[in-house]
Amino acid sequence: MNIRNIAIIAHVDHGKTTLVDKILHATKVFRDNQDTGELIMDSNDLERERGITIFSKNAAVVYNDVKINVIDTPGHADFGGEVERVLKMADGVILLVDAYEGPMPQTRFVLQKALQLNLKPIVVINKVDKPNCRPDEVHDSVFDLFFNLDATEEQLDFPTYYGSGKNGWFNDSLTEIDNIFPLLDGIIKHVPPPKVAEGPLQMQLTSLDYSSFLGRIAIGKVSRGAIKENQQVALMQADGTVRKLKVKELYVFEGMGKKKVTEVIAGDLCAVVGVEDFNIGDTLADAENPEALPVISVDEPTMNMLFSVNNSPFFGKDGKFVTSRHLRDRLMKETEKNLALRVTDSDDGDSLMVYGRGILHLGILIETMRREGYELTVGQPQVITKEINGKKCEPYEILVVDVPQEFASKVIDLVTRRKGEMLIMETKGEMQHLEFEIPSRGLIGLRTQMLTATTGEAVMAHRFNEYKPWKGSIPGRNNGVLISKNTAKTTGYSIDKLQDRGTFFVDPAEEVYAGQIIAENIKPGDLVVNATEPKKLTNHRASGTDDATRMAPKTLMTLEECMEYIQFDECIEVTPNYIRMRKVILDEEERKKQSKSMNAQMA
């Protein structure tokens, strides 16, 4: 059978998963009366809640007797490691671009990776039904982007399709039709069939799946020879070890699922059962003449966080997995499939240092662990510095902000205060398009401030650029916090009396402990307060003193917002039911001693 392997790449929210939905429907993967819902490929709970793709997934459809393997990829810069490895399975890419926004930071990042692998690009300009869209200008800016990324003559001659994923049409012109068949014909015409080399079996493992019945399942593309059921193969690992194994079962992708087969020939994607203890990037080769493929290289992480066991007074009340052994096993298991993640031991036996691509990358890992029943404490995210030519260097990112014109000056002020430098300022319709180069440290906590300053109108995106010399100190949070004095339940009476001191993160009758952060102070500096004092009851009635308490609802903070909010002496307690911010040292006297000794050292 004819085969085409294609990955769909784009910036976050440009419509990749919706396009995959339309391809599945157009090729009759589902019955006509079947209710499939939207964003079928986003099957994970977190993906559905947040409306973003986190894990790449495979589907396969048959159109005009050609099998098309479709790989849906994440669009967020923090999950670039996921994109880098799955592009190895593809022979072509559909680059999806919003007809209004045009190429964005992540578009550049994923396209660069695809061009380096010599994949054939097809450009799809989506959402041409949006008001203020500018498909011709966007087409020109995509061409400029290809040119800037040193695309070859052949890659610069890319075919372009226009359409609307939401309305279910794509065409090679701006003429609206009622199907996406021109795009499917374009995939068959422009994407080359897999290049197949002569020789014995070679297959690189680029992804993994897990089944409680079958165990770990290795996924990859057979690049040479063929793989058969019950065949003896050699597993070649990155460290040079070679192990002989037997293939128990083989599956190819069909629709949204998998179909069991006895043999898979070169060029097709398949899932192999029976390969234990493999890592992503390993090669399955012929048992007699094993030859390894080059190991997948992934960009380095730029941020780290300290993961520790939960040592708060509420330890063990919520979670199932609470010990350092549980934490270590879970993080080590994550590094097997999450290529952009690194885990190292810290000086303290109860803590591990975890390195990742950004706050969202680490936040998704913590959120996943929390839902699995883990309890842990995480520290403030720190950027990873390097020494280059004897100078201390830090990661810099390109930050792109689209904002209504009246807020542009506020955005520029916010970014320049955090050591950002403006590169581009241009008008896009009614919006102002701003591009900055900013140290990664400056991005921590910026999103919340930006949305507040622009009444939620700013659209922010950023991608790693390079390491450059350290920019000096960046101002952090301006306000201090209110810290609970004792361990008990908060009372409405106390919170009401303290409301003019700050904005609360807790409600009345909520359990708090000494050292927990319960509110943001309206001034700089921290303050220890008693929010658990009940109202004194007497048998006298007094006129005017029994006013009803009037309280503003508590400020709800997501995990990522907490990660951006905390300072170096604070941490976050994460349990299946609660996310609490607290001081690293819970005891007030100990905190005072620590700050005195630090001040003495600095003096």
- 479 is annotated as contributing to ligand binding: no
Q: What is the pLDDT of residue 39?
A: 45
The predicted pLDDT at position 166 comes to: 83
Residue 415 has pLDDT above 80, yes or no: yes
Whether 42 has a binding-site annotation, put simply, is: no
**Residue 1: predicted pLDDT:** 57
> Which pLDDT score, from 0 to 100, does residue 580 have?
93
Rounded Cα gap, residues 464 and 460, in angstroms: 14
- Whether residue 332 is predicted with pLDDT greater than 80 in this model: the reply is yes
Kindly list the distances between the CA atom of residue 206 and the CA atoms of 197, 249, 296, 476, 549, in Å, as whole numbers in the listed order: 19, 18, 8, 40, 59
- Is 333 known as a binding-site position? no
In tens, the pLDDT along 173-228 reads 888 888 888 888 999 999 888 887 788 888 888 887 777 777 778 888 888 888 88
Q: Tell whether residue 175 is among the known ligand binding residues.
A: no
| Residue limits of CATH 3.30.70.240 in the chain | 386-469
Q: Which fold has domain 386-469?
A: Alpha-Beta Plaits (3.30.70)
Largest Cα span, the chain: 97
Lowest mean pLDDT among 39-53, 460-474, 512-526: 39-53
pLDDT at 29 over 70: no
540 among the known binding-site residues? no
- Cα–Cα distance, 573 to 311 (Å, whole number): 9
Q: Domain 2-190: give its CATH code.
A: 3.40.50.300
Provide mean pLDDT across the span 326-350: 85
Most confident of 76-85, 205-214, 469-478: 469-478
Is the pLDDT assigned to residue 310 strictly greater than 70? yes
Q: What is the mean pLDDT of residues 147-168?
A: 88
Beta-carbon contacts of residue 288 (< 8 Å; ≥ 6 apart): 200
Does 128 belong to an annotated binding site?
A: yes
Q: What DSSP assignment string belongs to 160-183?
A: EEEEETTTTEEESSS---S-SHHH
Q: What is the pLDDT of residues 109-139, one digit of tens each?
A: 788 888 888 889 999 999 888 887 888 989 9
- At 3, which amino acid appears? I
Contact 298, 84 (CB under 8 A): yes
Q: What is the mean pLDDT of residues 564-578?
A: 91
Instruction: Return the residue matching tokens 């700089």.
Output: 524
CATH architecture of 477-536+548-556: Beta Barrel (2.40)
Q: How confident is the model at residue 254 (pLDDT cuts 50, 70, 90)?
A: confident
How far, in Å, CA of 463 to CA of 1, rounded? 40
Q: How far apart are CA 81 and CA 110, in angstroms?
A: 10
Q: Mean pLDDT in the chain?
A: 84
Q: What integer pLDDT is reported at residue 44 of this predicted model?
A: 56
- State percent of the chain over pLDDT 90: 21
* Nearest-5° Cα angle at 208, 106 to 359: 40
Q: What is the pLDDT of residue 369?
A: 92
Outline which parts of the chain fall under CATH 2.40.50.250: 477-536+548-556
Higher pLDDT, 49 or 563: 563
129 is in an annotated binding site: yes
Least trusted range by pLDDT, from 78-92, 255-269, 494-508: 78-92
* Neighbour count for residue 568 (Cβ, 10 Å): 10
d(CA 191, CA 210): 30
**Residue extent(s) of CATH 3.40.50.300 domains in the chain:** 2-190
**pLDDT of the residue at 38:** 47
42 has pLDDT over 50? no
Multiple choice CATH, 202-286, 2.40.50.1020, 3.10.20.600, 3.30.70.120, 2.40.30.10: 2.40.30.10
Quote the pLDDT of residue 577: 92
Residue 487 — pLDDT band, cuts 50, 70, 90?
very high
pTM recorded for the entire structure:
0.80
Q: Over 90: is that where the pLDDT of 258 sits?
A: no
